[in-house]
């Protein structure tokens, strides 16, 4: 934890070695470090809530060159990185906040371009990534504060009940509760606790969610996310394209068709199954005319040929917003014309 008003500085750099194997190919090795500054989370209680700076170190080992008598360009890279105090955003009762954890990311990235014939080019790019939380990190999932696995209905089949008063004080209908396999959860105006006597209002108690007086269980259960995948990091993604060039008396036409694929990825650091984004893929088409004696071009294009409205992002809202889930879909079939000038 850092105190308000604390100054910090960091020094970073890059060291790289490269060796040419031939006139057309080389290997390289590099080490790079970087720092992202820390800060303080704004909150409705106007109290300091700082988070630490993030430090990252990456090692890369790569191969670049022209091969097959110059008909193929290739770039293949292995990378491995360690993040100390990685800054990630997590949902809280009333919004979201930045917090820190340690993480490791490694993978292989490749870009290839091959001339099948003088008029036909094949392009292939891919990224394979393995990411995980590498150190112990105890975090509270605001939408699952007791680390339950499933909700349990009441005998009448409903999942939520209202408590009209507690301790002789009316709740005005704001105090509600439900059951899970890990015990009851109480919610008052968007703030949750396993203790029905918790104070949801701002003040000296800082919305105190102490232990349940009946069971002794903690008001909120922190989960160790060590070993979980980082959010929004698919294990594998690629795009592959074929470009065919047609030459005419006055210019040329390039016709390119491309398929893009992105694998399954997690929606949050708790790896909640309800927030997983499934794999998806798309087809795009592009046609461009370029004159022989001009510096302009004109084209027609279409993206997402199959009009696939797959999910791209799923994220959860705070309890104050009802614990909803928001999702963004990719754009529908989109097409248009383009014109440009090369300088």
CATH architecture group of domain 14-142+224-341: Beta Barrel (2.40)
Q: Find, among 279, 297, 280, 296, the residue nearest to 288 by Cα.
A: 297
Report whether pLDDT(58) > 80: yes
pLDDT, position 189: 73
pLDDT, position 170: 79
Report whether pLDDT(208) > 70: no
pLDDT, position 3: 57
- In this structure, how many other beta carbons lie within 10 angstroms of the beta carbon of residue 74? 17
Q: 7-11, 144-148, 276-280: which has the highest mean pLDDT?
A: 276-280
- pLDDT tens digits along 108-138: 999 999 999 999 999 999 999 999 999 999 9
Strands 280-291 and 296-303: antiparallel
pLDDT, position 201: 62
Exposure string for 287-303, b = 16+ CB within 10 A, e = fewer: bbbbeeeeeebebeeeb
Residue 339's contacts (CB-CB under 8 Å, 6 or more residues apart) are 296, 297, 298, 299
Least confident interval from 34-48, 99-113, 201-215: 201-215
Report whether pLDDT(283) > 50: yes
190: left (phi over 0), alpha (psi -120 to 50) or beta: left
**Cα angle value 233/313/103 (rounded, 5°):** 25
pLDDT, position 123: 98
| CA 276 to chain CA centroid, nearest Å | 11
Report whether pLDDT(278) > 90: yes
| CA 107 to chain CA centroid, nearest Å | 16
Strands 169-170 and 165-166: antiparallel
Rounded CA separation 190/94 (Å)? 7
Torsion (CA) 185, 188, 192, 195 in degrees, nearest 10: -60
Of the chain, the percentage scoring pLDDT greater than 90 comes to: 61
Q: Give CATH 2.40.170.20 domain extents, the chain.
A: 14-142+224-341
What burial class does residue 226 get, using C-beta atoms within 10 Å of its C-beta: 0-12 exposed, 13-18 middle, 19+ buried? middle
Of the chain, the percentage scoring pLDDT greater than 70 comes to: 94
- pLDDT tens digits along 140-149: 988 888 889 8
> What secondary structure, in 3-state letters, does 250-297 show?
CEEEEEEEEEEEECCECCCCCCCHHHCECCEEEEEEEEEEEECCCCEE
Report whether pLDDT(342) > 70: yes
Percent helix / strand / coil, the chain, rounded to 5: 0, 55, 45
Q: Find, among 134, 145, 125, the residue nearest to 190 by Cα.
A: 145
Q: How confident is the model at residue 205 (pLDDT cuts 50, 70, 90)?
A: very low
Q: Find, among 145, 33, 55, the residue nearest to 100 by Cα.
A: 55
Report whether pLDDT(202) > 60: no
């Amino acid at each position: 934890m850092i105190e308000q008003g604390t100054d910090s500085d960091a020094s970073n750099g890059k060291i790289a070695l490269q060796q040419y194997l031939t006139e057309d190919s080389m290997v390289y090795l590099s080490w790079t470090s970087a720092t992202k500054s820390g800060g303080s989370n704004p909150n409705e209680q106007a109290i300091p809530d700082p988070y630490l700076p993030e430090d990252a170190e990456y090692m890369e080992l790569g191969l670049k060159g022209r091969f097959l008598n110059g008909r193929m360009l290739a770039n293949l890279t292995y990378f491995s990185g360690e993040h100390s105090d990685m800054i990630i955003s997590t949902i809280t009762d009333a919004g979201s906040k930045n917090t820190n954890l340690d993480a490791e990311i490694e993978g292989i990235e490749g870009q290839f371009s091959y001339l099948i014939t003088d008029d036909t080019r094949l392009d292939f790019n891919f990224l394979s990534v393995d990411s995980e939380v590498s150190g112990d990190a105890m975090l509270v999932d605001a939408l699952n504060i007791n680390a339950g696995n499933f909700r349990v209905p009441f005998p009448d089949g409903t999942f939520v009940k209202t408590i009209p008063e507690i301790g002789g004080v009316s709740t005005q209908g704001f105090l509600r509760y439900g059951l899970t396999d890990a015990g009851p959860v109480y919610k008052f105006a968007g703030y949750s606790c396993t203790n029905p006597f918790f104070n949801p209002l701002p003040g000296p108690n800082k919305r105190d969610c102490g232990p349940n007086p009946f069971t002794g269980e903690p008001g909120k259960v922190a989960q160790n996310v060590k070993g979980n995948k980082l959010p929004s990091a698919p294990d594998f993604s690629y795009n592959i394209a074929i470009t065919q060039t047609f030459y005419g008396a006055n210019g040329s036409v390039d016709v390119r068709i491309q398929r893009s694929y992105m694998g399954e990825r997690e929606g949050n650091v708790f790896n909640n199954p309800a927030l997983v984004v499934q794999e998806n893929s798309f087809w795009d088409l592009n046609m461009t005319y370029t004159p022989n004696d001009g510096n302009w071009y004109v084209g027609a294009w279409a993206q997402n040929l199959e009009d696939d409205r797959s999910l791209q992002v799923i994220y959860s809202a705070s309890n104050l917003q009802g614990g909803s889930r928001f999702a963004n879909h990719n754009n529908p079939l989109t097409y248009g014309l383009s014109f440009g000038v090369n300088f």
